Structure 1
Amino acid sequence: MGAWVVPGYTEARELGAGASGRVVLATHEETGLPVAVKYLSERFRSDESFVRGFRSEARLLGALDSPYVVGLYEYVEAPRGAAIVMELVDGVALRALIAREGSTGPEAALVVLKGSLLGLAAAHRAGVVHRDYKPENVLVAADGSSKLVDFGIAAGRGATPGVAGTPAYMAPEQWNGAPASPAADVYAATATFFECLTGRKPFTGDNFAELALHHIDSPVPDGQAPEPLRPLIRRGMAKSPHERPENAAAFVTELEAVAAAAYGPDWEERGRGRLAALAALLPLLLPSSGGGVSEGTTVFATTTLPTPPPRPRWRLPRGVPAGAAALVLALLLALAARAGVDGSNGDKAAEAFATTSTGPGTSAPGPDASPPSPSLSPSDSGSPEPSPS
């Protein structure tokens, strides 16, 4: 039996895949509208905690109204799967631009940072912390604009869901499992800004423990960035969350003042032009580049929810102090607990589809709790994946 397909959509091709699912390009059969469909992986379909987190991500997207965050069309659950149908961004991941070009240049980096912060600001206003901001989760469109995606491990402000994130971009307090805060998103956005400016991550290490020590104790490497922008990096990556801007919106104000003083009033226009030029160098990565088609249909029932208001084994580095060793032990315990979630519980699926759609004339609820299990994403950290212990 083939993979389940959301009814009413014709699939064209896969846009990306990961451990928790895949994203495909599809067309809404009734309107011809191209969309992106994110499917929950089959291995997690019978795990209620993952389904609950997936459902929460959809509800969160429906609650956000920002041109800097990918929009939600509908959420579908069925006996054979679950899917989030989203706005299609005809763009490429910021990671691909950095991988090809290295440094994007200061004005383009400032445009990426501003757009990211505006997307994060929408989430922060809704009381939500993204917790996994990184270049993979920023899409740059052909016109140089950008959108924030993947709220898969987002959490309510002040929630304590455990250690989670991508190590290369995690704020010091994230490593300690501190309550989720907008300041942690500011840190991750600034770390990505640094990577756009320099072509490299702020800190690297052979393993998670070494990265943790760098983020917690090592000086912010602002000296590698252009001199006018170093104050932004020092502010955004300050070790203490209280020394960073309170939230993304506050940081935008600082960014605009610094950018105008350093590069003149037209910095944003030039930066967007530069990003558009970089995206044009990767035409085959654009969803509009074409591909094959797969399709499937079935009968389903629709439930409408409110819509948004208007738009392990690690090597410790030499000389690790006792306090850091305790931190690493805590991380090991968190990941060991996470590993226990991978099994299937064999629960029976529901008999009918449940579809969440964001139709006109309704209003959206606040986001649910975040996915319950802590996680670290090693693929982007520059360090090896932890082996099971």
Structure 2
Amino acid sequence: MDTRTAWSVPGYTEVRELGSGGSGRVVLAVHAATGTAVAVKYLSDRLREDPAFVGEFRAEARLLGGLESPYVVRLYEYVEAPGGAAIVMELVDGISLRALLRQSGQADAEAALVVLKGSLLGLAAAHRAGVVHRDYKPENVLVAADGSSKLVDFGIAANRGSTPGVAGTPAYMAPEQWQGRPASPAADVYAATATFFECLTGRKPYDGENFAELAVQHIEAPVPETEAPEPVRPLIRRGLAKAPEQRPENAEAFVAELEDVALAAYGPDWEERGQRKLAALAALLPLLFPSAGGPAAGTTAAATTTLGGGAGWAPGRRGWLAAGIALVLGAVLVMTTDAIGASPGGASALSAFATTSAAPPGSASPSPGPSVPASPSAVPSASASPSPSPSASASPSASASASPTPTSSPTATLTGKPTPTPTPTPTPTPTPPVKVTAVDVALRTSVYRGEASITVSATGTGPVTVTVQWFLGGSQGAYTVPDGSESFTVQAGSTVTTTRQHTFTRDRGCYGGVRVTTKPAAGNKSAADSQYLARCVEAPR
């Protein structure tokens, strides 16, 4: 069905359609003032007539308004007017993990760990904001040309602890999701582990032939950890535990366990090797990258689920009870999928193209980051997934970017927070010059790695240069050995929080430190923090 409408987001010029489905369409557009390419997701006319669907579309933006992470796709604008509703997003030049698995069958353990870590860091940002993704799967993990990965599609995300009903993709749903229990980060950890298992083995953890069998297997079948390489079995065992309390409590905790296992099993260079291997796999599919500029990709509204062969395992008494429950839940999932032409529980088929993040009403106008004209490839879902999803598209890069000023809609505009990426040519305005009122930093460390959360508050208008210096030392607060530095730019006029990561040099001190300064200088001059590095053994003196 052609869901084109005459209405388009003011201030953007449509270039071509990138994908379409029962929920609407995604187009490549260019911001008229700056020439920045963006992806615009339009809600279809049919769904726009239903206030409930409009509310979900709007909630997708509001729910993720606080997320500022290089592992989550950024939203620039949410625009709602009498003529339509649309989400304006950045683009990324990447392909879905599903496409890679279809090509290669499975991935090397180091490559699979890199995919898992990148997308888990995206989940961690959501979990810190109190958001549960609820639909982690290979279709919703992007791999860029350099082998980096990130998580997309928060179309059915929910607030932690809420009970929005049964939703997700059956092959990756945690036991508590099948039971309709409150949304929790532990359910996302389960789905991420199921995807990790599929990367390692080329098959899903459970392969029931229908909803009832899948529900029973996820709820009570043994964890198939022995099918995975021995060094990573602890991650499979923990992540696929039946009870939520037996899993890592959130994605951040799971990343810490992952790094410990990976370091012990594959050495300090595991991540670099894994990323190179991923890049090599991605290079085999050049035509699937958005930058290839292929034709528009369609999406499919699937109302039924086709599942693989049985696993040769019979359920116990609890399993038969779960099977009865699953028959009812399966019908709900099917009807929901048929209603919106997308993933169950209200996820737009278009959401898989690019996930969104937005700020609550009243926040400052966004500045789109670097983007690549894109055309997503259609990626049919796996056999145990009720709905196919096209590959996502958005850019995790923190490099320099153009900064369009989105035009307001006739009715309402919900804009994203200013991005922490540099803006080369800010538009002169009669407002006061830039003044940095404060800069703060908090450092989290793991195995020779540090993640600094940096907050800059500035008034007026103009660029603020932020310099991050990394240090090593032999005691808390000792910034004695320089270990690298970096700089980036943010725009004044708001408070911006961003995250920077660093791998510290070994054997030069057991405490990692970070110092942040700004130009112009902040009111509090600078901010610094240092923390102990896990598994550190200080070099003998």
Report what 1:328 is aligned to.
326
- Does residue 217 (structure 1) correspond to residue 215 (structure 2)? The answer is no
CA-to-partner distance for each residue in 1:195-250, whole Å, 9 max, x for gaps?
11111111112211111111111111111111100110010010110100010000
Cα deviation, 1:144-189, whole Å, max 9, x if unaligned, reads: 1122111111111100011000001000110000000000000000
Q: 1:275 aligns with which of 278, 281, 286?
A: 278
How far off is 1:73 after superposition? 0.8
Of Structure 1 and Structure 2, the greater helix share is in 1
**Equivalent in 60, 85, 90 of residue 87 of structure 1:** 90
Return the match for 2:410 from 334, 345, 352.
Answer: 352
Cross-structure match for 1:123: 126
Structure 1 match to 2:155: 152
Q: Could you tell me which residue of structure 1 aligns to residue 204 of structure 2?
A: 201
Measure the CA separation in 1 of the matches of 2:116 and 2:74.
20
* CA deviation string 1:107-138 (max 9, x = no partner): 11101111111110100100110000111111
Cα distance, 1:359 vs. partner?
5.1
Greater alpha carbon shift after TM alignment, 113-122 vs 332-341? 332-341
Supply the AA of the counterpart residue of 2:416: T
* Aligned counterpart for 1:34 among listed residues 34, 37, 41: 37
Identity of aligned residues (%): 71
Contact 2:172 2:191 in 1 (8 A): yes
Q: Post-superposition shift, 1:323?
A: 1.4
Residue 477 of structure 2: aligned partner: none
Change over 3 Å in CA distance of 1:359–1:169 after alignment to 2: closer
2:73 is aligned, of 70, 74, 81, to: 70
Instruction: Tell me the CA shift for residue 291 of structure 1.
Output: 5.1
Deviation digits for residues 306-342 of structure 1 (CA, Å, limit 9, x no counterpart): xxxxxx8999x99785412441254156448748966
Q: Contact conserved, 1:93 with 1:136, CA < 8 A, in 2? A: yes
> Kindly tell me: are residues 359 and 230 of structure 1, through their superposed partners in 2, closer, same or farther at Cα, counting changes over 3 Å?
closer
Deviation at 1:13, TM superposition (A): 3.4
One of 44, 47, 65 as aligned partner of 1:44: 47
In structure 2, relative to structure 1, the CA distance for the partners of 1:58 and 1:224 (3 Å cut) is: same
Residue correspondence of structure 1 range 99-248 to structure 2 within 5 A:
99-248=102-251
Specify the alignment match of 2:456 in structure 1.
none
Judging changes above 3 Å, is the alpha-carbon distance between structure 1 residues 124 and 339 closer, same or farther for their aligned structure 2 residues?
closer
1:276/1:355 CA distance change after superposition, 3 Å: same
Q: Which has the higher contact order (CA 8 A, sep 6+)?
A: 1
Read off the aligned partner of 1:38 and give its amino acid letter. Answer: K
8 Å Cα contact 2:167-2:333 kept in structure 1: no
TM-aligned CA deviation for residue 77 of structure 1? 1.3
Q: How many residues align?
A: 339
Question: What secondary structure sits across from 2:236 in the alignment?
Answer: helix
Contact in 2 for aligned 1:12/1:292 (Cα 8 Å): no
Distance 1:159 1:265 in 2: 40
**Higher alpha-carbon deviation: 184-193 or 143-152:** 143-152
| Structure with greater proportional strand content | 2
Distance 1:85 1:124 in 2: 23
Conserved 8 A contact 2:63-2:158: no
Mean Cα deviation higher: 202-211 or 123-132: 202-211
Q: Note closer, same or farther for the CA distance 1:292–1:66 as it changes in structure 2 (3 Å cut).
A: same
Gaps of 5+ in 1: 294-311, 344-350, 365-389
- With normalisation by structure 1, the TM-score equals 0.80
SS in 1 for 2:64: helix
Partner residue, 1:256: 259
Residue in structure 2 matched with residue 347 of structure 1 by the alignment: none
SS at match of 1:164: coil
Is 1:290 the counterpart of 2:348? The answer is: no
Q: Retained in 2: the 8 A contact 1:140–1:147? A: yes
Change (3 A) 1:24 1:204: farther
Contact 1:62 1:71 survives alignment (8 Å)? no
Deviations 1:43-80 (A, max 9, x none): 21111111111111112333201111011111111223
Distance 1:6 1:313 in 2: 34
8 Å contact 2:178–2:326 — kept in the other structure?
no
| SS of the residue 1:168 aligns to | helix
